[in-house]
Structure 1
Amino acid sequence: MRGRGRERVPVVVQARSGRRGLARALWIGAEAVVTCGVLVLLLVVHQLWWTNQQARAEAGERVEVLEREWDISPPAGTGTGTGAGAGGGVSSPSGGPVREPSAAPSSPAAAGGGSPRPARTSAAPVRPAAPPPSGETFAVLRIPRIGLTVPVARGISKSKVLDRGYVGHYPGTAAPGRAGNVALAGHRNTHGEPFRYVNRLRRGDEITLRTREGTYTYVVDQILPVTSPRDTGVIRPVPRSVVKPSYGYSAAGSYLTLTTCTPEFTSRHRLVVWAILRR
């Protein structure tokens, strides 16, 4: 009886294994948090630094290519071609001469007095030139106040224009140096951020646009600090804000408009700078 009373019932202790499982779960959770943090940090570095480096490098190379071409080839109309200035022909919308359709020679019967036959034209009818493709660079924008030199491309597509570090030219707005409104858009942050410091511009600052035809100087006149992204009045031929009508113009002229997002790192509102062509 005494021997049986001394027998001990084995007890299974699970506390130690439970602590190990909890510790392992915490460790895995900590690793996941650190991994997510590193990924987010890499994404931020990519957006705020790497995209800027890539876009600025591409934009700088494009400026060099454009200006090298312009320095080698003279502006349109100043060469020895067959344009209106040289041969007296009529220029087409694309700048080349318009050729009249030539009539085919009449048949021998018609030449000898026989029954005339209608002449045939060998040239196809002249078709209007196709609009330039989106993304084509055609000008260089310089703003000395903020140390900016950047190419200007047709259109405001993100993938073809803005995300490449270019400044985009709103379709349908005026060409540089012409009457109307030359409206441009650019990123405020990331992808080269060419318009990051346009808020530092002041009235009287100079802005130049160089094209193959020449260099045009505009002078900053008005700044609209905040407006809606839907304020289309700011890029009309005679620009005037439809949200804040006290900003803008009421008479025709030669204007330059710069638009970008504000405040920084958001796209809630737009910042607008207007300049006037110096005569």
Structure 2
Amino acid sequence: MRRVVGHGDRRRRARRRRVVWTGGELLVTVGLVLMLLVVHQLWWTNREAKQGAERKVEALEREWGESGGSTDSGNAGNSGSGAKGGSGATGSSSSSRSGTGRQQTSYTTRVVASQAYAILIIPRLGLRVPIAEGVSKPDVLNHGYVGHYPGTQQPGQAGNFALAGHRNTHGEPFRYLPRLKRKDTIEVETRSATYTYVVDQILPQTSSRDSGVVQAVPRSIVKPSYGYKEPGYYITLTTCTPEFTSRYRMAVWGKLVSMRPRA
């Protein structure tokens, strides 16, 4: 016996088809939006930040060249303190002796919060990136810059010159930081001098709250076998690990071996 299909059944099937079709369109739209967000985060932000960082490096070098490599204003601050939230002078024009026994000089360097004032160069990574004061994501790190931890030392000063940088997105200057090895060189160019550090220790992973890695005498409070016991002239590079997460931190430590005044 042939089944009689009423108008009500046809309407219900039509509504179901519309619901399924509409749901499919929504899923496709959401998928496209998510894909565009991923492309923006992983590609566009990198492109913009890297180009901006490259322009800033060029601007700093041009500015220093025009000033003839002279030091900043003669207002020297207290050696041992960084600038916090605003402008201030740090550094000293006096000479001091590094752990290597070589005579080192800390030049006056005026730093302003969120402003680039030096250049970090890591030959093994092919990296040449601006260093700005502070570690704020929107004001410093998301511009593709490396940020200086306020309160830590400046280049060439006794203590710990500590820096942070993104490992992924926004220029990702420290993406390949795990490739560094002991005895690799790290250079820091300022208006007045170039400071050369040599990688000495690498802490592959620690807690994101391990504040010991940026202390004046850097030493992990989570893994005390990593770090130092004696004062010295240190540099610290920190970034997130593993990739695409911010759960842990890694740290690379180096020691100052030379200072070369700008011509």
Q: Please report the TM-score for the alignment, with normalisation by the length of structure 2.
A: 0.82
1:57 correspondence with 2:57? no
Letter in structure 1 aligned against 2:240:
C
Bigger Rg, which one? 1
Residue 75 of structure 1 aligns to which amino acid in structure 2? G
Alignment of 1:18-57 (within 5 A): 18-57=12-51
Report which of the two has the higher share of strand.
2
Does the alignment pair 1:249 with 2:228?
yes
Deviation of residue 134 (structure 1)? 1.5
Once the two structures are TM-superposed, the CA of residue 75 in structure 1 deviates from its matched residue by 3.1
Secondary structure at the aligned position of 2:23 is classed as helix
Taking a change above 3 Å as real, the CA distance of residues 221 and 267 of structure 1, as seen in their structure-2 partners, is: same
CA 1:11–1:52: 2 relative to 1, 3 Å: closer
Higher relative contact order (CA 8 A, sep 6+): 2
The aligned length equals: 225
Which residue of 71, 75, 81 corresponds with 1:92?
Answer: 75
Q: Given residue 14 of structure 2, which amino acid in structure 1 is its aligned partner?
A: R
- Whether the 8 Å CA contact 1:181–1:256 is kept in 2: the answer is yes
Residue aligning to 2:92: none
SS in 2 for 1:172: coil
Determine if contact 1:142/1:207 at 8 Å carries over to the other structure. yes
Quick one: structure 1 residues 77 and 159, their matched pair in 2 at CA, closer, same or farther if it must change by over 3 Å?
closer
Q: Distance in 2 between matches of 1:176 and 1:199?
A: 23
CA shift for structure 1 position 11: 8.4
Q: CA deviation at 1:130?
A: 4.6
2:100 matched residue in structure 1? none
Please state whether the residue corresponding to 1:14 is helix, strand or coil.
helix
Name the residue aligned to 2:174. 195
The one-character-per-residue Cα deviations of 1:43-101 (angstroms, maximum 9, x if unpaired) are 000000000000001000000000111112123359xxxx9xxxxxxx5327xxxxxxx
Matched AA of 2:115: E
Partner Cα separation in structure 1 for residue 32 and residue 113 of structure 2: 37
Report the Cα offset of residue 15 of structure 1: 2.1
CA contact (8 A) 1:187 1:260 kept: yes
Matched to 1:181, the amino acid is N
Distance 1:11 1:215 in 2: 87
Unaligned stretches of 5+ residues in structure 1? 1-9, 84-90, 95-128
Q: 2:95 maps to what in 1?
A: none
Identical positions, percent: 57
Which whole-Å CA distance do the structure 1 matches of 2:113 and 2:164 have between them?
14
Q: SS of 2:13's equivalent?
A: helix
Indicate whether 1:206 and 2:182 are aligned: no
What TM-score, normalized by structure 1, do the two folds share? 0.77
CA RMSD for the aligned pairs? 1.9
**Aligned residue identity for 1:54:** E
Q: 1:44 to 1:209 in 2, by over 3 A?
A: same
